Amino acid sequence: MTKSERTGMISRRNLILRAGAGMVAASFAPVLLQVQPANAEEISDITPEGALQKLIEGNQRYIEQKRTFPDQARSRIVEVAKGQHPFATILACSDSRVAPEIIFDQGLGDLFDIRVAGNFLDDVVLGNIEYATLELGVPLLVILGHERCGAVKAALDGKAVPGHISTLVAAIKPAVDSTKGQKGDAWDNAVRANVKMNVNKLQSSSPLLAAAVKAGKLKVVGGRYDLDSGKVDIIA
CA distances from 106 to 55, 75, 79, 209 (A): 8, 15, 15, 25
- The reply to whether 95 sits in an annotated binding site is yes
pTM of the model: 0.82
Strand partners, 141: 89, 220
- Which residue range is the domain that position 225 belongs to? 48-234
Which pLDDT value is given to residue 1?
54
- The reply to whether 164 sits in an annotated binding site is no
Domain count, the chain: 1
Each residue of 28-57: pLDDT tens digit?
Answer: 333 333 434 334 344 568 999 999 999 999
pLDDT band at residue 64 using 50, 70 and 90 as cut-offs: very high
Let me know if residue 42 belongs to a domain.
no
Let me know if residue 20 belongs to a domain.
no
Each residue of 177-233: pLDDT tens digit?
Answer: 999 999 999 999 999 999 999 999 998 999 999 999 999 999 999 999 999 999 999
- The reply to whether 93 sits in an annotated binding site is yes
Whole-angstrom distance, CA of residue 186 vs CA of residue 176: 9
Torsion angle defined by CA atoms of residues 49, 108, 76 and 54, in that order, rounded to the nearest 10 degrees: -20
Let me know if residue 28 belongs to a domain.
no
Let me know if residue 121 belongs to a domain.
yes
Which pLDDT value is given to residue 203?
87
Identity of the residue numbered 152: V
- The reply to whether 185 sits in an annotated binding site is no
